[in-house]
Amino acid sequence: MPNFMCTTCGVQYGDTEVPPQSCVICSEERQYIGWQGQQWTTLQDLRRDHRSRIEAEGSGLTGIGIEPSFAIGQRALHLRTAGGGFIWDCTSLVDEAVVSKVGRLGGARAMAVSHPHFYSAMVEWSQALGGIPVYLHEADRAWVMRDDPAIRYWGGDALELELGLTLIHCGGHFAGSTALHWADGADGLGALLTGDTIMVAQDRRTVSFMYSYPNLIPLDAAAVQRIVAAVGPFEFEQIYGGWTGKTVREAGKAAIRYSARRYLRAIGRGD
């Protein structure tokens, strides 16, 4: 049976003979049903008119996107780490070209996804790369539309995957929203990979925080303060958001502190 994929969010569902009536993720207030109504595709159909876009993003980082853009339009990141390759976040398309490229980059021993809007075709990715584990925070278990033995649910405030590579539970956008700290990133100065748990702003010098980006629902003060506190113990120079080019190249930690103060003042909760 096919695994249908929502064309608005790009998340793949479990085996069904016919598409679900509606996408659970897009029906919720953080997302939306497409303006033309609920529509579905499959990975096989997506491969017919889309291809993987692969490009260098930074030192040891390779971006993996889809061309032309599909669904939310995010890109994943491949990290060349001391312990072996690692994939952060996910896209809806996995094809021979990208699997070959990942192999040339040293492969991938595991992957992790920041939050449900980016779950995409994570099971397909795992299978294409040899059944590698996919790390998701357990607080978002209910949003997994296609479960699989490769998925590893973790809990708590942080999970060190290897020396210098740590998943950080931030919450906010979703209860289990996560960032990835890479101590060796940015040529040893540290990099924080955030999806849109922490959204890199258009000026690429600041960031912001939202409960819903498309529907413009802000987070409350406590949620923003929790995010800042969660990443506080980690050192990093750069922040890589969920889209190509959305990168704070310097003073990333200071950018988060400044941006949080600005945000709290804007909602009447700052000093």
Q: Per-residue pLDDT tens for 107-150?
A: 999 999 999 999 999 999 999 999 999 999 999 999 999 999 99
Cβ–Cβ < 8 Å for 219, 211: yes
Residue that has been written with the tokens 């990715």 in this structure: 125
Q: How many residues are present in the chain? A: 271
Over 70: is that where the pLDDT of 215 sits?
yes
* Inter-residue contact 113 to 242 (CB < 8 Å): no
**Looking at residues 184-211, what average pLDDT do you find?**
97
The band of 257, judged by pLDDT with boundaries at 50, 70 and 90, is: very high
Q: Do residues 123 and 144 make contact, with C-beta atoms less than 8 angstroms apart?
A: no
Q: How far apart are CA 44 and CA 122, in angstroms?
A: 15
pLDDT tens digits, 216-249: 999 999 999 999 999 999 999 999 999 999 999 9
CB atoms within 10 A of CB 148: 14
pTM higher than 0.85, yes or no? yes
Q: How far is Cα 58 from Cα 199, in angstroms, rounded to an integer?
A: 18
Task: State the CB neighbour count (10 A cutoff) for residue 101.
Answer: 14
> How many helices (DSSP H) and strands (DSSP E) are in the chain?
5, 20
Confidence of residue 6 (pLDDT cuts 50, 70, 90): very high
Answer whether CATH 3.60.15.10 is correct for domain 3-266. yes
Q: Is the pLDDT of residue 5 over 70?
A: yes
Average pLDDT over residues 89-107: 96
Is 42 in contact with 5 (CB distance < 8 Å)?
A: yes
Q: Tell me what the mean pLDDT of segment 152-174 comes to.
A: 97
Q: What is the pLDDT of residue 156?
A: 97
Q: Domain spans of the chain? A: 3-266
Q: Which helix (H) or strand (E) holds 191?
A: strand 191-195
Mean pLDDT, the chain, as a whole number? 97
> Whose structure tokens read 């990099």?
191
Please report the pLDDT score of residue 82 as a whole number.
85
Confidence band of 83 (pLDDT split at 50, 70, 90)? confident
Please report which confidence band the pLDDT of residue 271 belongs to, taking 50, 70 and 90 as the band edges: low
Span 33-58, average pLDDT: 96
pLDDT at 44: 97
DSSP letter (8 states) at residue 11 = P
